[in-house]
């Protein structure tokens, strides 16, 4: 049971000349097995919220609970996928995918079995001895996903995992993420810049306000996961609804090159 509860999380970190309030009383509950997408203006603290759930940022106030337990550090069955995929260039595909298991002291035969299954699942079985430098962007992202699958994670935290990919590869991987979720029914929290991606992959879409980040709105998206959802009118309506909410939060007012990501 990997429910995620963010209870009134405050995060203040030292900025260049003054403290920066990244999150303020940010509360959110994600049910076990629920896929949730988080969207908001640039620099609204989305990534910080995700890192607090991953146990890599300690909240200055409030706390994050996973499966009812307070998060004090990285948790064994949480997998984090970062924007730049978090791959190590000096490790082969196999060893990158096996890293989580190796760090946790899983025996080599077991590691091999689980990693090979995970690589096969994401379509990288033929590339196990290649280095990340030899892979395309989409393949690197598949590898990051394989690492999470090999861990048998019950909670997948994703920080704009597809934002570095071209549109076609991106859609392909969104499909893969959805497939894998349908199959495994893990809890998923996806931070994204893309309205369409949020509606495609989030059963609920959380809109954060500009810094300091708070939950401004939550949009229910019951049609998520249905076959061919992307081309239905319900999908478009949901996207438009979100666009309106984001505009109200000032997401389209700022120069996109100025806002930092606040992670």
Partner 1 sequence: MRRLLGYVGAVLALLAGWWLLSVAVGSPALPGPAPAISDFVRLWWSDLFPQLLHSAWRVVASMTMGALLGAPIGLLIGRSPRLDSVAAPMVFLTYPIPKIVFLPVLLVLLGIGNAPKIALITLIVFFQILVTARDAARGIPAASLLSVRSLGATRTQVFRHVVFPAALPDIFTALRISTGTAIAVLFFSESVAGTSGLGYYILDAWGRIAYSQMFAGIIAMALLGVVLYEILEMAEARVCRWTRVGR
CB nearer to partner 1: give 84 or 220: 84
With CB under 8 A as the contact rule, the residue among 13, 15, 19, 88 that binds partner 1 is 88
Residue 6 near residue 24, CB atoms below 8 Å: no
List, in sequence order, every residue forming a beta bridge with 220; answer none if it has no partner. Answer: 204
- Region 4-43 residues binding partner 1, contact defined as CB under 8 A: none
Among 67-75, 183-191, 194-202, 237-245, the segment contacting partner 1 (CB under 8 A): 67-75
Give which of 46, 39, 40, 35 is closest to 229, Cα–Cα. 35
Helical H segments across the chain, by residue range: 46-54, 93-103, 108-121, 137-150, 167-184, 195-201, 233-248
Number of residues that bind partner 1 (CB under 8 A): 33
Phi, psi of 84 (to 5 degrees): -95, 20
What's the token pair of residue 252?
Answer: 């389209």
CB of 102 vs partner 1, minimal distance in Å: 8
CA atoms within 13 A on the CB side of 189: 30
What gap in Å lies between CA 251 and CA 68, rounded to an integer? 33
CB of 28 vs partner 1, minimal distance in Å: 20
CB of 98 vs partner 1, minimal distance in Å: 11
- From the CA atom positions of the chain, what is the Rg in Å? 18
With CB under 8 A as the contact rule, the residue among 42, 48, 78, 192 that binds partner 1 is 78
CB of 96 vs partner 1, minimal distance in Å: 10
Helix (H) or strand (E) holding 215: strand 215-220
190 binds partner 1 (CB under 8 A): no
84 binds partner 1 (CB under 8 A): yes
Residue positions counted in the chain: 263
| Per-residue binder mask for partner 1 (CB under 8 A), 131-170, x = binder | xxxxx---------------x-------------------
87 binds partner 1 (CB under 8 A): yes
Among 38-46, 76-84, 177-185, 239-247, the segment contacting partner 1 (CB under 8 A): 76-84
Q: Which residue has the tokens 């096996």?
A: 98
Instruction: Name the site residues for partner 1 (rule: CB under 8 A).
Output: 51, 54-56, 73-76, 78-80, 82-91, 99-100, 102-104, 130-135, 151
């Amino acid at each position: 049971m990997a429910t995620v509860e963010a209870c009134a999380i405050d995060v203040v970190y030292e900025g260049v000349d003054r403290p920066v309030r990244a999150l303020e009383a940010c509360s959110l509950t994600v049910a076990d097995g629920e896929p949730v997408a988080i969207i908001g203006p640039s620099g609204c603290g989305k990534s910080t919220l995700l890192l607090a759930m991953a146990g890599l940022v300690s909240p200055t106030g409030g706390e994050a609970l996973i499966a009812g337990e307070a998060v004090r550090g990285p948790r064994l069955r949480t997998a984090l996928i970062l924007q730049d995929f978090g791959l190590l260039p000096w490790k082969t595909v196999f060893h990158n995918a096996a890293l989580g298991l190796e760090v946790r002291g899983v025996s080599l035969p077991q590691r091999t079995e689980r990693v090979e299954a995970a690589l096969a699942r994401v379509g990288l079985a033929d590339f196990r001895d290649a280095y990340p430098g030899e892979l395309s962007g989409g393949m690197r992202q598949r590898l990051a996903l394989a690492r999470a699958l090999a861990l048998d994670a019950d909670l997948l935290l994703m920080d704009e995992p597809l934002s570095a990919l071209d549109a076609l590869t991106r859609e392909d991987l969104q499909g893969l993420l959805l497939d894998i979720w349908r199959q495994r029914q893990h809890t998923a929290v996806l931070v994204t810049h893309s309205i369409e991606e949020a509606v495609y992959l989030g059963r609920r879409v959380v809109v954060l306000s500009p810094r300091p980040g708070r939950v401004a709105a939550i949009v229910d998206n019951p049609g998520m996961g249905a076959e061919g959802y992307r081309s239905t009118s319900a999908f478009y309506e949901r996207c438009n609804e979100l666009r309106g909410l984001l505009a109200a939060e000032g997401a389209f007012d700022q120069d996109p090159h100025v806002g930092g990501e606040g992670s």
